[in-house]
Amino acid sequence: MKEYTQLIEEMLQKEQWPSAPQNLYEPITYILNQGGKRVRPHLCLMAAELCGGSAMQAIKPALAFEMLHNFTLLHDDIMDKAALRRGMPTVYKKWNTNIAILSGDTLFAKAFEQMLRYEGANKDLLLQLFIRTTIEICEGQQYDLDFEMMEQVSGDTYIEMIRLKTAVMLAACLQAGALVAEADVPTQNLFYQFGIQMGLAFQIQDDYLDVYADADRFGKQLGGDIAENKKTYLSLMALQTAEGKDMEQLKYYFSKVDFDKQEKFLAVKHIYDQYQIGEKAMRLIHHYYNTAMDLMHQMNIPDAQKQTLKQYADLLIGRDF
């Protein structure tokens, strides 16, 4: 992963961004230079090598997906009214909303341009994958926004939202790497479905950690989702299963945000504990993780390569079970 990260950073630094208009391009370099985990390009480069290709062959699609990801962050931060991203002011806070929208639009165009510059195998299929994934991510974001206005959201609907918003890009990055390496169609599909299952596990793990993580290891205050009345797998399961006074209290705390955060967190967590909501979430994480492992075992790649993929999957969801 260190070699992948070094290659990604080197290639990003080689990108020539115009100096003017400054307020259009400076926010793009600002967010790209913040780094992040670079999970999406890692997956693309890794899949290419696991399927017999090289990381260098896959670097342009990998960079395209990283730019696409950062484009979504620029716009998501506006919609979520987020003040910080990776510990730094978000673009719309550092500049303003209009600049963040325009810089995001430009970054998306540059992501597409990066994909067009790829000249290897399966270029048309890569472009189709990239376009479809972009549309699906927007669909997922719209579902997420719609949920804010809905009193009831089913568990299945929530899973579909996170599949679109989170999982499809991880899956597309893996399939893109397989496409670059000219893997057969069944292998491509297995990589894609592996990414979907890992993406679902990753997002529900994120929901779980907001309530049940070790605060020191988590690196931020627990209960952020509860404080903001964000719909998560845990909150939806609690609202589906709580009864009597517990249901009344949940609805009371989720009706507004002007509560003492710690008081609200402890009260809601107590109800989660009463109905074993954390255990239900963990069982679902196990289910998606185990499904991903079953898909991995079907891949037509050497066992040593499968171990590499498993290790990265474990790292991605912080697996300690």
Domain CATH for 33: 1.10.600.10
pLDDT over 50 at 239, yes or no: yes
What domain range includes position 117? 1-183
Pair 154, 240 in one domain: no
pLDDT over 90 at 84, yes or no: no
- List C-alpha distances in Å: 30 to 54, 91, 99, 107: 29, 8, 13, 12
Residue 188 resides in a domain: no
Which one-letter amino acid corresponds to residue 284?
L
Pair 125, 25 in one domain: yes
Q: Quote the percentage of the chain above a pLDDT of 70.
A: 98
Boundary-marking domain end, from 183, 207, 235: 183
Q: How far apart are CA 296 and CA 306, in angstroms?
A: 7
Q: How many CB atoms lie within 10 A of CB 101?
A: 15
Pair 173, 200 in one domain: no
pLDDT interval class at 82 (50, 70, 90): confident
Residue 97 resides in a domain: yes
Pair 47, 175 in one domain: yes
Boundary-marking domain end, from 129, 148, 183: 183
The reported pLDDT for the residue numbered 293 is 97
Pair 166, 201 in one domain: no
Average pLDDT in the chain: 94
Q: How many domains does the chain have?
A: 2
Pair 214, 315 in one domain: yes
Pair 9, 141 in one domain: yes
Boundary-marking domain end, from 131, 150, 183: 183
Residue 139 resides in a domain: yes
CB-side neighbour CA atoms (13 Å) of 283: 6
Residue 35 resides in a domain: yes
The reported pLDDT for the residue numbered 219 is 58
Residue 189 resides in a domain: no
Pair 158, 223 in one domain: no
Pair 309, 209 in one domain: yes
Residue 130 resides in a domain: yes
Buried/exposed 102-121: b ≥16 CB within 10 Å, e otherwise: bbbebbbebbbebbeebebe
Pair 179, 101 in one domain: yes
Alpha helices in the chain (DSSP H): 2-14, 22-32, 39-50, 59-80, 91-94, 97-116, 123-147, 155-162, 168-180, 185-212, 215-218, 224-227, 233-241, 244-253, 261-274, 277-298, 303-316
Residue 174 resides in a domain: yes
Give the DSSP letter of residue 243.
-
pLDDT interval class at 321 (50, 70, 90): very low
Residue 29 resides in a domain: yes
Cβ within 8 Å of residue 149, ≥6 positions away: none
Q: How far apart are CA 89 and CA 93, in angstroms?
A: 6
The stretch 100-121 carries a mean pLDDT of 97
The stretch 97-108 carries a mean pLDDT of 98
Pair 166, 247 in one domain: no
Pair 90, 156 in one domain: yes
Q: How many CB atoms lie within 10 A of CB 318?
A: 14
**Which pLDDT tens digit goes with each residue over 140-161?**
999 999 998 898 899 999 999 9
The reported pLDDT for the residue numbered 252 is 95
